[in-house]
Every structure is written in structure tokens, then in C-alpha cells.
Amino acid sequence: MNFKDHNPLNNKQYRILDFNGEVVNKEDLPSLTEEELKYLYKTMLYTRMIDDKALSYQRQGRMLTYAPNTGQEAAQVGSAYAMEKEDWLVPAFRELGALLVRGVPLRNIYLYWYGNEWGSHMPEGVKVLPISVPIASQYQHAVGIGMANNIKEENNVAVTYVGDGGTSHGDFHEALNFASVFKAPVVFIIQNNQYAISVPRSKQTASKTLAQKAIAYDMPGILVDGNDIFAMYVATKEAVDRARRGEGPTLIEAYTYRLGAHTTSDDPTKYREDKEVEQWKPKDPLIRFKKYLLNKGVISEEWEKETLEELEKDVVSTFESIEDKSDTEIEDIFKYHYETMPPQLEEQLEEYKLFLEGGK
């Protein structure tokens, strides 16, 4: 595919699979092995399973506030799979599928949402930044990594994500501006799930697409069907390759839908109608990809059943292994954030220790 053939002003989504799992763009269909296809679908199933269990645990009072990913698995898994081992993933807080693809253990993910500081402590060799909750701030972090790669003459790429609401933040525009000026090897992905908490996409901007915001910064922008895992993989792969060639950043709008709540503290029925949600359910990325794989004979219903049983055991055992055994040590909060603790934190840590001694 060529970005020059996709004008974001046309408001036309780049797509390879239609809603029925039929190939509508044979020319761009990626050459993936059966094992790769199974891996991608299994990771999407894993993402959905982790999500469903996390919601259940949170409702039972066994986990803190959680941000669901249901409905956005293709946008995450497809894009992350286009990265290479040494590339950097810079997430926001709704990129579960991407974290899994990039090698973040489920234990870390559940530790984070459980409230344990060590959930953000990535294993050696996993080039993933911690979850970033301040909206769009991670875009600037990704640009910093990209600029550092250029200075150090390293041939790595940073892939970063934001929601549709994040495009209204100054950090978003500052990041795109710097990345374009300095040709930073960064791929910006907008997970346009139609709502920023309770604010619909229509209230964020008058632009026909979010992808067209790339035009002002002189970089390619493309609107992609975010529920089509092949389209997300191909578009991101082209953007990653382009960045690695030294051609600068790309902006991808993944057009998808948040089937659940913004977080477990949110009640979406207050700002959107159930009718709208029902209209999106048949577009579920798992349903679409499953139809394709079944038609091609890559998977069977029996394979999926066995896989789901295997994944459920893993998810349940992982959560139970950290439950009630993973309280954060207060000192870890001070020690973890910096290689060398700054003076103000050292003072606060000493105050905390004195407080503990006084309570004994």
C-alpha cells in the first residue's frame, strides 16, 4: 500500500476484510503463515479474556478501577505486530492487546491495575514504557525517543497511541509538530473509539477525520478500519518501514468503537443509547477475523474452544497468584521512578521513615 493513494480528507477507510470476513483488497492482503494467523487471533482472544475477567474482578471489589478494551483488539494487536523487536511501544492506558504482543507479561498488567508499583517494571528486553494516564503526554515521550534514536543513529521506531479525545490536547499537536520538524521515527496511532469518556467524537473537532490533522504537520495521514486486523497491520507496517527509512512520522486513525465503559467508574448509558452499541456489535473485530479464519480452514470451533479453556486457566491462575500478596511497598514508589533519587524525594522518604518510627 502507498499512503499517497489514501487522502484522509476523502473520509474513506482503508480496509482489507469486510464485516463478513471476506477479502475486499486482495492486493494488500499480507502474507502471513497459518501459525502467525493463529497467534494473532489467539492474542485477540487473550485480550478479550483478560478484559472480561478484569471487569469481573473489579466489580467483586478485587481490583481497582480498570479501563476496558473490548471492541478495540484489532486496532491494538494488528498495529503492534507490525513492529520489530527493538522498536519502542509508548502506550496510553487502553492498549492491552499491544502490550501482550510486545511481550509484557499478564502478571505485570494485573499488578498495575491491582495498584502495585511493580506492574510498571518491565522485564529485561521488553521495550515498553509504563502506562500513561495523563492524556496525550505519551505522544511527547514517543517523539523524545524518536529524536534520541536519530541523535544516537539507532534504527529503531517508536509507536504510540492516544484516544480521539487526546487529539484536543496541546500535547498531541506539539508532538506532531516536533516529530515532523525533526523527522523523528514515530508512528502516531489514534484509537478513535468514538467517545472520550462522555464526549462524542463530534464534539472534539469539526474535522471530517482525525487523520487529516496530519496534513498541517506535513506528514502522511490515513483513516483505517480499526476493526480490520489486516488493515491495521499493513498500514502500521508501512508507517514503521517509512520511519525506519528516515522519512519521518505518520499519523494513523484507527476507526473503531468502545463497546464497554470508558472505565469501571463510568456509566456509558448516561451519554449514549444502547441502540448505538447494538449497531456496532456485529462489527466486532473478533467476529470478523474468526469468519475469515474459519473460511480458510486455519482454525476450527474445537480449536477455539480448547484455546479459550487454556487462556481462562492462565488468566485466573495469574490473578490469584497476585491477589492479597501484592501490596505495594511504599518505599518502592520512591525508589522506582528515577535511576538516582532526586533530593526532594529523598527528603520525603526520610520523613516517611521517621513517621513509621514515631508510630512504633
Just list the catalytic residues. 258, 262, 271
Q: Are 13 and 208 in contact (CB under 8 A)?
A: no
Number of CB atoms found within 10 A of residue 157's CB: 26
How many whole angstroms from its chain centre is CA 70? 12
Place of cell 507496517: 237
Q: Are 95 and 76 in contact (CB under 8 A)?
A: yes
Extended strands (E) in the chain: 88-90, 158-163, 186-192, 195-196, 199-200, 221-225, 250-255
Place of cell 521488553: 126
Q: Are 158 and 88 in contact (CB under 8 A)?
A: yes
Q: Are 280 and 259 in contact (CB under 8 A)?
A: yes
Cα–Cα nearest to 18, from 299, 301, 295, 297: 295
User: Any alpha helices (H) in 296-339, and if so which ranges?
Assistant: 301-322, 330-336
* Concatenated DSSP letters of 172-241: HHHHHHHHHHTT--EEEEEEE-SEETTEEGGGT-SSS-SGGGGGGGTS-EEEEETT-HHHHHHHHHHHHH
292 Cβ contact partners less than 8 Å away, ≥ 6 residues apart: 17, 21, 22, 23
In whole angstroms, give the CA distance from residue 266 to residue 94. 15
109 Cβ contact partners less than 8 Å away, ≥ 6 residues apart: 50, 96, 99, 100, 119
Helix axes 73-80, 229-244, angle to 10 degrees: 40
